[in-house]
Chains A and B, each alone.
Chain A
Amino acid sequence: MTAVFLGIPTAPRGVGHLRGDRSFPDAARDSLRDGQLRANLGHATATIRGKRAAVVGEVPDWAELREAGRAIKAATMARLDEHLIALEEQVTARGGTVHWARDATEANAIVTRLVRATGADEVVKVKSMATQEIGLNEALEAAGIAAHETDLAELIVQLGEDQPSHILVPAIHKNRAEIREIFLREMPGVDPTLTDDPRRLAMAARAHLRERFLRARVAISGANFAVAETGTLAVVESEGNGRMCLTLPETLITVMGIEKVVPTWRDLEVFLQLLPRSSTGERMNPYTSLWAGVTPGDGPQEFHLVLVDNGRTAVLADEVGREALHCIRCSACLNVCPVYERAGGHAYGSVYPGPIGAVLSPQLTGIEDNASLPYASSLCGACYDVCPVAIDIPSILVHLRGEHVEAQARTTPEAVAFRALSRAMSNPRLWRLAQRAAGLGRFLARGRPTLPAALPPPASGWTRTRDLPTPPRETFTQAWAREHGG
């Protein structure tokens, strides 16, 4: 049989959380009407925006740091294979075991097998985007293993049988009153007099989690960085719950996207400055946990590192789109995005919402499965300005729109219109005819300054909420030529 090369595999369907069941405009239609969601998001994003701006503003060499971050990521991606092999050698030499997972299905199978081998029927989890991406909790549950999220916001989402809506603050769409209600409903043995005082809520979560930390024999984490030259893994967090998971259990399994590797220890200097200021708006995050392999008598005595591709190599193959792999998951782009702020994270249908999600998710899954996401942006450019590694998100969005249009098998009415317009706009004589035709629209207005509000699609998309001015009798260029003898 002749092998047929079908391209580099993307993240498979039917597993994980990279695809929504509705298009962005459909999903946004609901969230835009949710007044409580709008209020929660508006308040939270404005607060984080302010904090970030203040702590970034006080760094005199932020522009240089940002450029250093960008350059390190670009150089690392150019030789990703070599860095990953170096990482594997170092982790192995320090007593860890490295597993390679082509996609979500393989990664879930590896982790399930590893947990089963310990005999445990439950695990504690450090907040991790990679495990959310591959749908690990569901896979473990199907295998009879309970996965307990220990990050406060992830716990809220898990107890509420909800989905995360933000990379850093998964429960950003919930306010204190809603969190209290979830805790009262779902937390076994919770004090029924619980109020929505943040301290009381945190103490309730603490008591709930402490029991699980002390009982757990297996922990699962993600990783913010992995240093190839030393085999060191790094997790940065605010609560210390991650530190509990990373140090108490006997077995630690870390699931990491292959793009998280950095070549040298020195590279952390740059990212550990860029990340906390961009994400939580703190000068330094409260907990930075670093470990390499296994240390006898200290911490987990068994360490597994699962390196996940799940479409990343396909992203790397795209010269423009590969920049999305530079992302350090700070979520600054979400917090400044006017679309995210209003539509909310769930509208993106993926664990990666906001501007970075709109460029990452469609590339990981293949553009056809997330075709509406590259259009879910007004291209205002606020995301690019705040990105700590200078990912040119607007340019990637535009590039992916091009990829989507060019991948369409059938000619759409939109394509017909744009091709016709292209012909007109590249031929002055045709263009003047087209302009004259557009000018005929003034007869629809019947002497009024604006066109009727009820126009057929696609014009209705505009006129449902905005007036359209009545076209003038004569274009500027026509009148100018007439008056100046052109």
Chain B
Amino acid sequence: MRVALFATCLVDTMVPQVAWATAALLERLGHEVVVPAGQSCCGQMHVNTGYRREAVPIVANHVRAFAGAEAIVAPSGSCVASIHHQQAAVARRAGEHALADEAAALAERTYELSQFLVDVLGVTDVGAYYPHRVTYHPTCHSLRLLRVGDRPLQLLRAVRGLDLVELPAADQCCGFGGTFAVKNAETSTAMLTDKMANVLSTHAEVCTAGDASCLMHIGGGLSRLRSGTRTVHLAEILAATEEAVSPHQSTRPAVAR
């Protein structure tokens, strides 16, 4: 299958290794990956901060960039949820009905990574090797908007060498919440503290999730505490193989470049 990769603005700009891992994984599974050059953002940050009018041209750009794509995959539950639940709505509210229809049609072909692997490609064992103790945090939008359920766990259980430990109170929000993390920084930090306490209680080396944004928040807190527990995106774990593993494997790309 020819898969169009939507890196998402955050991954593209701040943690490109997550997009490289996603591309490597899909290629390893025998699919052709294309990266539409005009892509930027899904518009979620604007919508959720109240700038829904300003989100419309961003949605239009996204629709232009991915026009004609057969399947679109993004390594983010939150961005895919916004594509599914917000893009057409903000366009329609602005009276841009043609754009709304195009966005809705595109959303139908847009998948979060774990959903694409399990539901569309029908694989749970992607041939990954990751010899680390890992705990999984289900991000809120994957869990409650996309209902990815245990798909990421199915994928992780099939990874050779991986020691999966259950995260206590896993369904509790980590406190990221987009601009909430800055506008209500103290409440956000209080939520983060409890999430970190749960992560650390598992004695996992790695906390993984399907959203780089939540991981940047959790990882930023863990790093500030010098906890030694690091955050690694699900795509990086699934992309890892025997060849890529080193004794000092960190959050650096687990894929050969």
Contact = CB atoms under 8 A, between A and B. Distances in A.
Given A475-B12, A477-B39, A338 B175 contact: yes
Contacts of B37: 428, 477, 481, 486
A378 B58 contact: no
B128 interface: no
Contacts of B19: 476, 480
A25 B186 contact: yes
Interface string B137-148: 000110111000
Nearest to A29: B186
Contact of A398 (B9, B35, B48, B171): B48
A466 B224 contact: yes
A193 interface: no
Contact of A380 (B35, B86, B144): B144
A372 to B, nearest CB: 8
Contacts of B216: 468-469
B35 A465 contact: no
B12 A375 contact: no
A431 interface: yes
B183 A382 contact: no
A303 interface: no
| Binding site secondary structure of chain B | helix
A466 B188 CA distance: 11
B202 interface: no
Identify the interface centre among B15, B37, B58, B186: most chain A CB within 10 Å of its CB. Answer: B186
Contact of B7 (A32, A385, A453, A477): A477
A467 B224 contact: yes
Given A32-B186, A481-B37, A419 B54 contact: yes
B178 A435 contact: no
B177 A378 contact: yes
Contacts of A425: 9, 40-41, 43, 57-58, 61
Contact of B46 (A29, A384, A418, A458): A418
A439 B191 contact: no
A481 B13 contact: no
A422 B54 contact: yes
A98 interface: no
A467 B187 contact: no
A462 B184 CA distance: 10
Interface string B7-37: 1010111111001100100000000000101
A450 B224 CA distance: 9
Nearest to A418: B51
B140 A379 contact: yes
A375 B180 contact: yes
Contact of B16 (A423, A426, A428, A472): A472
B180 A378 contact: yes
A305 to B, nearest CB: 39
A28 B35 contact: no
B191 A468 contact: no
Contacts of B229: none
B221 interface: yes
Interface in B214-231: 216-217, 219-221, 223-224
Contacts of A264: none
A438 interface: yes
B109 interface: no
* Residue of B9, B19, B39 contacting most chain A CB atoms (<10 Å): B9
Nearest to B58: A425
B38 interface: yes
Given A426-B40, A472-B14, A376 B191 contact: no
A461 B13 contact: no
Contacts of B176: 378
Contacts of A461: 181-183, 185
Contacts of B157: none
Between A376, A403, A431, A477, the greatest number of chain B beta carbons within 10 A of the residue's beta carbon is seen for A477
A428 B184 contact: no
B38 A378 contact: no
Nearest to B93: A402
A378 B144 contact: no
Contacts of B79: none
Interface string B154-187: 0000000000000000011101111111111111
B198 interface: no
B12 A338 contact: no
Interface in A144-165: none
17 contacts: A25-B187, A380-B144, A381-B145, A385-B144, A401-B48, A425-B40, A426-B57, A439-B13, A461-B181, A462-B181, A465-B189, A465-B192, A466-B220, A466-B224, A471-B13, A477-B37, A486-B37
Interface of B: 7, 9, 11-16, 19-20, 23, 35, 37-41, 43, 46-55, 57-58, 60-61, 65, 86, 140-141, 143-145, 171-173, 175-192, 216-217, 219-221, 223-224
Given A401-B49, A422-B51, A480-B19, 12 more contacts: A29-B186, A378-B177, A380-B173, A381-B145, A405-B50, A418-B49, A425-B58, A461-B183, A465-B192, A466-B181, A468-B220, A476-B19
